[in-house]
Amino acid sequence: MTEAQADLFITEVLRGLWQRWEPQDTQIREWAVRLLRYDYGRAERAVKDLFFSTAARVNPPADKVMAALRDKATVPRTQEESQPVAIFSLIKERFLEEKGRFLYEKSYCVSSKSEVPCREEIERRAGIEQKKCNELYGENHVVILHNLEGKESPDDS
């Protein structure tokens, strides 16, 4: 499902069934990220089936919901979709100035195209890792954001 569908799923399905559930923003973000790998229609059916077979009426039992989604809502992946995807890389700033030498020091991947987060999340993760590398190695690192076509766009964030 898409990010918009994940938000709708949380509002309409999870909060619709477990009406007394009042999730914190962090919980909503975590649910949304996990829901992206599932088909909306299959996920809705799986969670509704679970709701009527469980005694939990205040909060959705996360372990049981995730198990039901894995069992009933997973979209079959093709070979291409199941390949790791680089979302960003870090390179020492001095390497950018050396012609012909463009070695990635560290690449960060997700397990498949369907798990690529939104651009804001990629930038957030990249900023955290950039700061860690700058402190660890004592040199400035530049973030290289990757798009799904495999092209890079330098970003000095």
Report the C-alpha gap between 139 and 92 in whole angstroms.
Answer: 7
44: pLDDT confidence band, cut at 50, 70 and 90? very high
- Percent of the chain predicted with pLDDT > 90: 11
Report the C-alpha gap between 28 and 22 in whole angstroms.
Answer: 10
Write down the mean pLDDT value for the chain: 79
Phi/psi-derived region of residue 84, left when phi > 0, alpha when psi is between -120 and 50, beta in every other case? beta
Report the C-alpha gap between 81 and 113 in whole angstroms.
Answer: 6
Domain limits of the chain? 3-72, 85-155
pLDDT in tens, 147-156: 644 334 444 4
Report the C-alpha gap between 124 and 119 in whole angstroms.
Answer: 9
User: What pLDDT does 82 receive?
Assistant: 61
User: What pLDDT does 88 receive?
Assistant: 83
pLDDT in tens, 24-33: 998 998 898 8
Query: Please, is 21 exposed, middle or buried when counting C-beta atoms within 10 Å of its C-beta (0-12, 13-18, 19+)?
Result: middle
- The pTM score is 0.47
Q: Which residue has the higher pLDDT, 44 or 73?
A: 44
48 pLDDT more than 50: yes
Distance of CA 129 to the CA centre of its chain: 16
Report the C-alpha gap between 38 and 85 in whole angstroms.
Answer: 18
User: What pLDDT does 153 receive?
Assistant: 44
CA terminus-to-terminus distance, the chain = 30
pLDDT in tens, 97-142: 665 555 556 777 776 776 778 888 888 888 998 999 899 888 888 8
Report the C-alpha gap between 141 and 108 in whole angstroms.
Answer: 14
Residue-level length of the chain? 157
Asked if 93 and 139 touch (Cβ cutoff 8 Å), the reply is yes
User: What pLDDT does 154 receive?
Assistant: 45
Q: 12: closest CA among 37, 54, 36, 41?
A: 41
